[in-house]
């Protein structure tokens, strides 16, 4: 790739930086659509986030930036505007820099997640969904699942209070979805989604017991690396359909391209 003065520049802000995959996925996507755009990961410590964002505001060839752990929530106070979706989720994962230097944050995780399910022909509308985890990523997927018309959504999390708070927030916005929080048997659900970090390390325990989950059910794990978590390997061995985290990232690429377009 040749980066010139005409190239549109984007960043991905993160700390730590080693795990960042989004920049490579974005570079490959923009190259594939013939867009002259280059993305670089930038290692920014939490205490420096405000100054880093203020500097980007001055960089006229920067079209936007991705935000990942641990900046997704803290970045909001440094932006000029966030979309209603980002407001609802309480986190931003992409920021566009307008030609005038305004910084607008959006959260594409929810739409990326449900778009990846749709692309893999996993139905959500009217289905019973069990979501494990209620952290930042879990907030996005829960709102996404309700928006996509899930019939029932049960949120299970180690910190039960967070699961209840998320369930209440989703229920308030999506009265058509029956939302609840607490422990549940995975086998009675059509779709089981892991949004916890359990599965990133090889010796992690399974985030949820999937005994009895087999053909007819889908198990989704939003972890990107490894591509096949222990949960997915077990689910596949039991005959369930499985979908990993990479499609969720891939599905966001077209959304990013549209979002940052001037
Ligand atoms: P992210 O932005 O990636 O979602 P996060 O907001 O820190 O990160 O959320 C991590 C999720 O993984 C949470 O649901 C967390 O559970 P708690 O809310 O109880 O902390 C879950 N998680 C992380 N480590 C876990 C563990 N060892 N056992 C069970 N759940 C875990």
Tell me how far the alpha carbon of residue 157 lies from the centroid of ligand 1, in angstroms. 8
User: In this predicted structure, what is the pLDDT of residue 50?
Assistant: 98
In a domain, 257, yes or no: no
Main-chain dihedrals φ then ψ at residue 190, nearest 5 degrees: -80, -35
**What's the alpha-carbon Rg for the chain, to the nearest Å?**
19
Q: Is the Cα torsion angle 223, 9, 67, 13 positive or negative in sign?
A: positive
Boundary residue ending a domain (66, 83, 107): 107
Domain identity same for 46 and 86: yes
In this predicted model, what pLDDT tens digit does every residue of 203-235 receive, in sequence order? 999 999 999 999 999 999 999 889 999 999 999
Boundary residue ending a domain (72, 88, 107): 107
Domain identity same for 135 and 237: yes
Domain that holds residue 213: 110-248
Rounded CA-CA distance 101/64 in Å is: 10
Domain identity same for 83 and 162: no
- Find out whether 95 and 158 touch, Cβ atoms under 8 Å: no
In a domain, 1, yes or no: no
In a domain, 2, yes or no: no
Ligand 1 atom nearest to 134, measured from its CA: 14
Rounded CA-CA distance 109/86 in Å is: 10
User: In this predicted structure, what is the pLDDT of residue 136?
Assistant: 86
Tell me how far the alpha carbon of residue 201 lies from the centroid of ligand 1, in angstroms. 13
Q: What's the pTM value of the predicted model, to 2 decimals?
A: 0.91
Report the side by side order of strands in the sheet with 218-221: 178-181, 152-156, 128-132, 191-194, 218-221, 241-243
Domain identity same for 66 and 143: no
Boundary residue ending a domain (88, 107, 126): 107
In a domain, 207, yes or no: yes
Which residue ranges have their beta carbon within 6 Å of ligand 1? 133-138, 157-159, 162, 196-198
CATH number, position 56: 3.40.50.10860
User: In this predicted structure, what is the pLDDT of residue 117?
Assistant: 97
Nearest CA to ligand 1 atom 9: 135
Domain identity same for 211 and 114: yes
The partner residues of 22 in beta bridges, in order of sequence, read none
Domain identity same for 150 and 218: yes
What is the average pLDDT across 71-75? 94
Nearest CA to ligand 1 atom 7: 135
In a domain, 253, yes or no: no
In this predicted model, what pLDDT tens digit does every residue of 76-88 receive, in sequence order? 999 999 999 999 9
Q: Write b or e for each residue in 29-66: b if 16 or more Cβ atoms lie within 10 A of its Cβ, otherwise e.
A: bbeeeeeebbbebbebeeeebeebbeebeeeeebbbbb
How high is the mean pLDDT of the chain?
96
Rounded CA-CA distance 10/25 in Å is: 13
Domain identity same for 134 and 233: yes
In a domain, 228, yes or no: yes
Q: Which residue's entry shows tokens 């970090």?
A: 197
Domain identity same for 241 and 160: yes
What is the average pLDDT across 48-62? 97
Domain identity same for 69 and 139: no
Nearest CA to ligand 1 atom 21: 196
User: In this predicted structure, what is the pLDDT of residue 17?
Assistant: 95
Q: How confident is the model at residue 12 (pLDDT cuts 50, 70, 90)?
A: very high
CATH number, position 230: 3.40.50.720
Tell me how far the alpha carbon of residue 135 lies from the centroid of ligand 1, in angstroms. 6
In this predicted model, what pLDDT tens digit does every residue of 115-170 receive, in sequence order? 999 999 999 999 999 999 999 899 999 999 999 999 999 999 999 999 999 999 99
Domain identity same for 25 and 77: yes
Domain identity same for 100 and 120: no
Q: Is the Cα torsion angle 221, 222, 223, 224 positive or negative in sign?
A: positive
Rounded CA-CA distance 75/230 in Å is: 33
Scanning the chain, the segments in alpha helix (DSSP H) are 22-32, 49-57, 84-89, 109-119, 136-147, 160-173, 230-237, 246-260
Does the annotation mark 162 as catalytic? no
In a domain, 150, yes or no: yes
Tell me how far the alpha carbon of residue 197 lies from the centroid of ligand 1, in angstroms. 6
Query: Considering its fold, how many domains does the chain have in total?
Result: 2
Domain identity same for 44 and 138: no
- Find out whether 31 and 66 touch, Cβ atoms under 8 Å: no
User: In this predicted structure, what is the pLDDT of residue 19?
Assistant: 82
């Amino acid at each position: 790739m040749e980066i010139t003065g005409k190239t549109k520049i984007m960043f991905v802000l993160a700390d730590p930086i080693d795990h960042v995959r989004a920049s490579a996925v974005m570079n490959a996507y923009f190259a594939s659509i013939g867009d002259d755009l280059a993305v670089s990961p930038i290692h920014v410590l939490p205490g420096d986030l405000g100054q880093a964002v203020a500097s980007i505001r001055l960089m006229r060839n920067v079209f936007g930036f991705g935000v990942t752990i641990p900046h997704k929530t803290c970045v909001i106070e440094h932006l000029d505007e966030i979309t209603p979706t980002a407001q609802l989720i309480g986190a931003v994962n992409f920021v566009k820099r307008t030609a005038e230097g305004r910084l607008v944050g959006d959260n594409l995780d929810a739409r990326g997640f449900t778009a990846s399910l749709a692309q893999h022909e996993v139905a959500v509308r009217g289905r019973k969904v069990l979501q494990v985890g209620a952290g930042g990523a879990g907030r996005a997927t829960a709102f996404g699942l309700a928006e996509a018309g899930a019939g029932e959504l049960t949120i299970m999390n180690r910190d039960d209070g967070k699961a209840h708070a998320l369930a209440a927030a989703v229920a308030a916005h999506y009265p058509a979805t029956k939302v609840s929080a607490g422990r549940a048997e995975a086998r009675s659900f059509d779709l089981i989604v892991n949004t916890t970090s359990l599965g990133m390390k090889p010796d992690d325990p399974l985030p949820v017991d999937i005994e009895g989950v087999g053909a007819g059910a889908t198990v989704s794990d939003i972890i990107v690396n490894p591509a096949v978590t222990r949960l997915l390997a077990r689910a596949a061995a039991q005959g369930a359909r499985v979908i990993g985290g990479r499609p969720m990232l891939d599905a966001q690429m077209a959304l990013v391209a549209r979002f940052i377009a001037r």
